[in-house]
Amino acid sequence: MSAKTILLNLDTVLATVALGILIVITFLGVVMRYCLGAPLIWEEELQLALLVWVVFLGGRYAFLSGSHPAIDFIIDSFPANAQKVAGVFITVISVIVLLYVGYQGGRYTLMMLQNHRVTNISHIPYGIIYLPMPIGCALMCGQLIMESIKSFRKGQEA
């Protein structure tokens, strides 16, 4: 895999690494708590942080691979022209929601960084935890728009 490919898919690589770390920490947490009787006090904070990274940095890949949740059977029952209209409507609403969440996430991230807020036990800066929100939402918007344009062009050729 080339460096260019990795850079273009950095969000997916980071989400995959975060998911791997999340799985390992969760497994270790279970072993430490139930087998050794010594729970990891920082486990929950790190799990929540990693979950934010997995969700927001992995979101673009869900749009790229078509693995995001969808209820296609309803749209598929519409006539062809209505399917196109519904597709555009869904894309516009999705982009608006993602832009709003990304904007608010960016504001929240900046506020956490400016106020130097950190988690209670691990002292992880909240700004770092929530940084993937605005980045991921922007990447998801871009991917969603690109996938919609491809779909629309494919429909035009048919």
What are the tens digits of pLDDT across the range 2-27?
Answer: 777 777 789 999 999 999 999 999 99
| Torsion angle (degrees, nearest 10) of CA 138, 139, 140, 142 | 90
- Comparing C-alpha atoms, which of 58, 25, 51 is closest to residue 130? 51
CB atoms within 10 A of CB 107: 12
- Angle 43-65/132-157 helices, nearest 10 degrees? 20
What is the structure's pLDDT at 84?
83
**pLDDT digits over 48-107, tens only?**
999 999 999 999 998 888 777 777 778 878 888 888 888 889 889 999 999 999 999 999
Distance from the Cα of residue 122 to its chain's centroid? 23
- Comparing C-alpha atoms, which of 33, 49, 57 is closest to residue 126? 49
Look up the domain containing 9 and give its range: 3-157
Q: pTM of the predicted model, to two decimals?
A: 0.85
Amino acid at 113: L
Structurally, the chain folds into a number of domains equal to 1
